[in-house]
Every structure is written in structure tokens, then in C-alpha cells.
Amino acid sequence: MKKICTWILGIVLAFIVLLSGALIYWYFASINYHLTGMPVLNYHQVNNKFHTVLTMKPENFEEQIRYLSENGYHSITLEQFEQYMEGNTSNLPDRPILITFDDGYVDNYEYAYPILKKYNMVGTIFLITDFVGRPGYLNWDQVKEMSNAGMEFGSHTLSHRPLDSFNRADMRHELVGSKKAVEWHLNRPCDFIAFPEGKFTDTVLEETQNAGYKYGFTIDAGRDFPWDNPYDLDRIAMFEGPISFEHFRFRLTFSAFSAFLWKTHKFFEHMEFTKPLANCIPEP
Ligand SMILES: [Zn+2]
């Protein structure tokens, strides 16, 4: 009996040592993209009007951008991101970070863009091109104005219906149509896409490549490395759940670890009899 107890204690201790080792590594290496990958933040709405899972208050957004600015982070362009993925880091600043927004809400122009400008940062907005000009969404004039000032744009398809819900021909239509719309309005290549709801299949990835995109972002949590599949890139979600400043800090610093927690939580939540277990695993 005593022997078993010693064994269990040993295993628990070893686990604690390993876990704290991993956390210490992540804490100190999280600012070094060579070691822990490129962080890509993913926002949606920034306003005071709505209170949905996609909404962040402008004051919270500013607090986060100010933190990045004061802590030596530099927002990078899509070109710099591409160079990083190609293994060329000669043009990369210290502590690079890619800031992205999905859906193309008009509040990105009203709130997020002025805040980014104030801190000398840029971001990339993924547009649902059929929604541009509709109430609540950006219009092409706003898109052009921001584009001229250094903000960048990618595709979030034509209709925002998940790409895995289409047959091949319609999938192609969504991918090519939205790419062309962005290129036609901005007169520059549109090589990046964010998949609606982060959903994709092997066919989606294949058609994305066929449509001429070079990179695809999901909403899976994590950071990106040059050896990752360029059409299956992770981001750090700044939506879903209460994004306090502590959440932001934790997710930014421990992206890989928080990704692990999220995935295990989701896994256990999936089955009825393991649901109580899921509740024990925090969603950071
Ligand atoms: Zn979306």
C-alpha cells in the first residue's frame, strides 16, 4: 500500500514539475517567435452597442493595443507574415504580431482603426464581400481609405456560409468571387482568406489553393510556424467568452497552452458522461 502511494505521489510530482517547466518555457519564450511561433490575434466587433460573443468594447481593445505597444510588440503586414512563413526573417521587427479582424464590421472603421492608428499599428480585415455596404458592415469607400493608410484586406468568402457546406462548384464560386471582389476594388492581390466559422475540409483546402490563395486562417487556437500547412493556420481568439485583460494576456503568452486547454475542454464537453470533467478544465 505504502509503495503504491509513493508511486502515485511520484507521478503527480513529475507531472507538476513538467507542467511548470512548460509554463515557464512559454512565459519566457512567448516573446521570441523563433521559439514559440507567430501570434495572430483574431478580433471581430469593436463597439459599445452590442454585447455578443463577438463584441469587444473599444476601451478593452485600446487597453490591449496599448499593452502591445508599450511592451515592444510590432504589428506586421501580410507581406512580412508571408516572408516569415517562407523562412525569411530579415525584415521582421522584434516581437512581431499580426492583428486580424473577421467579417468586416463598420465598427472596425469607427473604433478599431483609429485606435490602431494612435499606436502606430496596422491590421488585416477579412471581408464578407457580398456584405460590404450593408448596414453594420464596412463600405468600399471606408475599405479604400483604410487600405491607403496601410490597413490590409483579405477574403472571408462571398456569403459567410461555411465552405464545407458547399459542393465543389459553389465552393469555388465563393472562393474565387470574393478574391476577385477584393482585388478589383483595391487593385492589389488578395492572397489571404479566413474561413467562415473556421470550418474547412481537405476539399476546402484544395479548392482554396486552386483559387489562387496562398494562406488560409482558421479559428483554431495556437501560433504559426514556417513549417505549418499554409492553409491551416491558427490564431488567438479575442472573442467567445469574457475577454478581460487577463484573458488577453494569458492567451497571448500561453497560446499553445491555452489551445491545449480549449481542445481538451471541447473534447470532454462532446460526450454527455464526460461533461462534468469538461467543467473542471478552464477555458482561458
Ligand atoms: Zn466570420
DSSP state of 93: P
Cα gap 131→136, rounded to integer Å: 9
32: Cα separation from own chain's centroid: 18
278 alpha carbon – ligand 1 mean position (Å): 26
How far away, in angstroms, is 242 Cα from ligand 1 center? 18
Do residues 238 and 248 touch, judged by C-beta distance below 8 A?
yes
The Cβ of residue 5 has, within 10 Å, a number of other Cβ atoms equal to: 9
Cell 468586416 maps to which residue? 104
The three-state DSSP-derived secondary structure of 105-154 is ECHHHHHHHHHHHHCCCCCEEEECHHHCCCCCECCHHHHHHHHHCCCEEE
CA of 159 to the centre of ligand 1 (A): 10
Instruction: Calculate how far, in angstroms, residue 4's C-alpha sits from the geometric centre of ligand 1.
Output: 52
At 241 the pLDDT is: 64
Domain boundary assignment for the chain: 31-253
Q: DSSP of 196-220, one letter per residue?
A: GGG---HHHHHHHHHTT-SEEEEEE
The architecture of the domain spanning 31-253 is: Alpha-Beta Barrel (3.20)
CA of 162 to the centre of ligand 1 (A): 9
Separation CA 233–CA 215 (nearest Å): 8
Residue type, 147: S
Contacts of 111 (CB under 8 A, 6+ apart): 46, 47, 58, 61
For 98, the grid coordinates are: 499580426
- φ/ψ of residue 221, rounded to 5: -80, 135
Residue 120 Cα, ligand 1 centroid: separation in angstroms?
26
Q: Ligand 1 mean position to 14 CA, how many Å?
A: 42
Task: For the chain, 284 residues long, give each residue's pLDDT as a single digit of tens.
Answer: 788 889 999 999 999 999 888 888 888 888 999 998 999 999 999 999 998 899 999 999 999 999 999 999 999 999 999 999 999 999 899 999 999 999 999 999 999 999 999 999 999 999 999 999 999 999 999 999 999 999 999 999 999 999 999 999 999 999 999 999 999 999 999 999 999 999 999 999 999 999 999 999 999 889 999 999 999 999 999 987 667 899 899 899 988 777 677 777 777 887 777 887 777 766 76
d(CA 276, CA 272): 8
CA distance 180 to 129: 10
How are beta strands 45-46 and 192-194 bridged, if at all? unpaired
DSSP secondary structure letter of residue 104 = -
Q: How far is the CA of 54 from the centre of ligand 1 (A)?
A: 9
Does residue 228 sit in helix, strand or coil?
coil
